[in-house]
Structure 1
């Protein structure tokens, strides 16, 4: 990967109703941060679900702005679901320069922040610098960007990393693509990474201990997840999020009666997880 990237950072789950989404994920045994509101020029609000080295972001559009126009288009096209994947960057400016050297037209990093209430009740700030790959570069309808955390100590708070379902990190994002090989190669080239064939799809790793991307045909995805209905899936797009749990029984208890439990996994239908097929594995 690009030298300034350190692996998968977080997944953005865009929601049509932010507070309803928070209620759904709370019911699945996750601890959520208090609701945050981003800078006015971003126009969004969020809840975060902090894991080990990565996290999930439930995102809602609060005010239409130029910067969230693509998100509004996604909601119109797909409804709630996985809209974006973010990579950790240790230097947003260097990342932009490296991508420009590869011939990509990249905008300068965007700076923004949101207020945070710390465990002791004091007010602090979470501050970020992000850059997006070009809008026309979205492998299988998945936009990608990179995020530099200037205040990790206000984001990865220990009490927010404890979950009743015992989730500890992102294992993979499963993405439906008509041509998994070509789409995986597209993503790999955008991050200066590699696409590798797997048993039933193409894999793009990000870093040791960080989540990977798996590109599958719709048929291969359904073979992996026989409980999922064909009619509920898009022709392309990131549709499933697979998380690691320390205790599969705890995940099953937290997921409740709507989950499909097998010897090696717990699967929550998309209708109970903001349009995301959520899978726990140990």
Structure 2
């Protein structure tokens, strides 16, 4: 039986060392980047978001060392990159209990928030409840957690969902793993979604009509992306984010020299996006 309180991929967390520089870098790729936010003191982090239709990219940085952000600090000691993926939950407390009933020791839920600068002036608040899978459960090196949005109206703001590059949603998150089949099966068990072979890779749906998560090895990565695009990519874990664009020509104009065309897509080298290949495909 599928998990009752998990609705699919909510957002991905790109952990960075210089938060403002990362925002400028992604803005230069044609993304609309929301104003900087500061999370509740328990988390000790700040962020910028890149909002799509039902999902988004979060650029996350450490502002103050706390117990909660130690895993992120440990990750940053090695590299920047796509550290974890969040799944949407409609009830964090019930979702955590559902995992526990299946023998998985969920951590949380934890409540936190952050102020939001509103487009018309003034400040609102974004509030969340989250729980996470145990830190030892990292399929292919990818951490996962679940996020319940209590104030969607202060997160999904229409003016901030329009991007010069035409980006509209996350199609796929791609993970480099030594044993793709085992890593995909591991994630499938954690979120109760079946893993299946997909050519030279293994695919796990995140739920509903949200993005898929694809696992492959180094040879499959090389077949998908030219060497120039793979420059700066992580040696393991999440290496690529595939986004849909409603206008590939607009994406090409926005990306300029940062874009490498291949196989009907436009891809940005990982070295230009904090360790993550960002690939645009027409929707």
Secondary structure at the residue paired with 1:64? coil
Deviation at 1:16, TM superposition (A): 0.8
Deviation at 1:106, TM superposition (A): 1.9
The answer for the alignment partner of 2:62 in structure 1 is 61
Change (3 A) 1:240 1:230: closer
Deviation at 1:231, TM superposition (A): 7.3
Secondary structure at the residue paired with 1:173? strand
- Whether the 8 Å contact between 1:222 and 1:228 is mirrored in structure 2 is no
CA distance in structure 2 between the partners assigned to 1:53 and 1:116 by the alignment: 19
User: CA deviation digits over 1:120-159, x for unaligned, max 9?
Assistant: 2122100000001001001111100000000000000000
Q: Does 1:221 align with 2:221?
A: yes
The answer for the alignment partner of 2:73 in structure 1 is 72
TM-score, scaled to structure 2: 0.96
Secondary structure at the residue paired with 2:17? coil
The answer for the alignment partner of 2:100 in structure 1 is 100
The answer for the alignment partner of 2:199 in structure 1 is 199
- Whether the 8 Å contact between 1:15 and 1:80 is mirrored in structure 2 is yes
The answer for the alignment partner of 2:260 in structure 1 is 260
User: CA deviation digits over 1:43-101, x for unaligned, max 9?
Assistant: 00000000010000000001110000000010112x11100000000000111001001
Please, which runs of 5 or more residues in structure 1 have no aligned partner? none
The answer for the alignment partner of 2:237 in structure 1 is 237
Cα RMSD for the two superposed structures: 1.3
State the aligned residue count. Answer: 281
- Whether the 8 Å contact between 2:172 and 2:213 is mirrored in structure 1 is yes
CA distance in structure 1 between the partners assigned to 2:98 and 2:143 by the alignment: 18
Q: Does 1:34 align with 2:35?
A: yes
The answer for the alignment partner of 1:5 in structure 2 is 6
Deviation at 1:271, TM superposition (A): 1.4
The answer for the alignment partner of 1:188 in structure 2 is 188
Change (3 A) 1:228 1:196: farther
CA distance in structure 1 between the partners assigned to 2:182 and 2:263 by the alignment: 33
CA distance in structure 1 between the partners assigned to 2:268 and 2:229 by the alignment: 13
CA distance in structure 1 between the partners assigned to 2:129 and 2:121 by the alignment: 26
Deviation at 1:118, TM superposition (A): 1.6
CA distance in structure 2 between the partners assigned to 1:229 and 1:153 by the alignment: 36
TM-score, scaled to structure 1: 0.97
CA distance in structure 1 between the partners assigned to 2:106 and 2:31 by the alignment: 35
